[in-house]
Structure formats: C-alpha cells, structure tokens
Amino acid sequence: MLLSDAMRHVRKIAPREGLRFSKRQLRSHAVHYLDWWNVLNAKTTAHIDPTGEQVVRRVLAQTVRA
C-alpha cells in the first residue's frame, strides 16, 4: 500500500467518524495507518479487512486520542 492509498482510505472514513483534518493532519493520520498496515498487521488482517476500512477507524481512534 502506498501513502496515496492510505490517504484515500483515511479521507473516505474520517467524515463517517465525524472527524475533519487539515492536509497536514490527514497526511499524519495516513502515515500512522500506513505504518500499521505495512508493518504490524498486514499479513493477519488483509484477508479479514481487504479494503482497510475497519483498520482506518481503529487507527484514527488511537491517533486522535493520543
């Protein structure tokens, strides 16, 4: 997954979660999501959540609270 893919996922999910981000914030959250996807759990969740929508919600919740 590329950063542009991650940004597209975050941009798509954030409004549903009631979140609005500046371009810089969007990129930051997309980087968090991308790190999670590429390093930590891609092998274990790719078959469960192929579009990454569930993961985006979870990662956004973690980064917004932090």
**DSSP assigned state of 52:** -
Number of domain units in the chain: 1
* Cα–Cα–Cα angle for 41, 9, 4, rounded to 5 degrees: 95
pLDDT on residue 33: 83
Token couple for 36: 């999670």
Q: How confident is the model at residue 14 (pLDDT cuts 50, 70, 90)?
A: confident
Task: Express each pLDDT in 18-63 by its tens digit.
Answer: 888 899 999 988 888 887 777 666 555 555 665 667 777 777 777 6
**Is 59 strand, coil or helix?**
helix
- For residue 65, give the amino acid letter: R
The predicted pLDDT at position 22 comes to 92
Range of the domain at 40: 3-65
CA distance 11 to 20: 9
